[in-house]
Chains A and B, each alone.
Chain A
């Protein structure tokens, strides 16, 4: 079946540095992917919509200069957390739908980011 994969699954970085998280659709193409953030014991909050070949669309309150999204191919979207701070520590998870089955929305395994 369709699979969405994220890498890395866990990352620790120092304050002030940047970290990149990848989201790949493994056996289907996705012109649109979505990035969510989940704090411990909370629900998922949509951060942005990643559009292949064009700019990402950010939800209200999400800093686009801090969370850079690049969707350079039909199978890969990347989220870069720039100048990371401890409050950016969270679980980041992406989703995607096959172009020919937009009703099925699959999520990646998620990426745990810890900023120290």
Chain B
């Protein structure tokens, strides 16, 4: 299939690290993205990684990419209550410049 898959829910305690996982199916994907969506709002671009990289770090965010297994993860260090949101991973395929295929989204709930 052509689905991007994510786990639907993650509960994490404030101060702990969160890890959100994503798998994709298209080996021609060029870039992979992580977006954050808060209730009723648009999508905030968090970070993206080129498919020939295996890691990218940006402040509290670390993206790991295993191209062989088509597995992508987003780690949020020192998770805060403001990190509670839905996180979407998305793949940009080689032939679809600018088009993104989204996963179903992972709802992250941060508890005190």
Q: Which positions 74-106 of chain B face chain A at CB distance < 8 Å?
A: 88, 92, 97-105
Chain B interface helix/strand/loop/mixed: strand
Interchain CA distance A108-B92 in the complex, whole Å? 18
Instruction: Contact check, A34 vs B48: say whether CB atoms are below 8 A apart.
Output: no
Taking residues whose C-beta sits less than 8 angstroms from the other chain, chain B's interface range is: 20 to 34
Interchain CA distance A97-B97 in the complex, whole Å? 10
Instruction: Contact check, B105 vs A43: say whether CB atoms are below 8 A apart.
Output: yes
Write the residues of chain A forming the contact surface with B, with a CB cutoff of 8 angstroms: 6, 32, 34, 42-46, 49, 93, 95, 97, 102-110, 112
Beyond contacts A34-B98, A104-B48: 20 other A-B pairs, Cβ-Cβ < 8 A, are: A32-B98, A34-B99, A43-B88, A43-B102, A43-B104, A45-B102, A49-B99, A95-B43, A97-B98, A102-B98, A103-B48, A105-B48, A105-B98, A105-B100, A107-B35, A107-B42, A107-B43, A107-B45, A108-B42, A110-B42
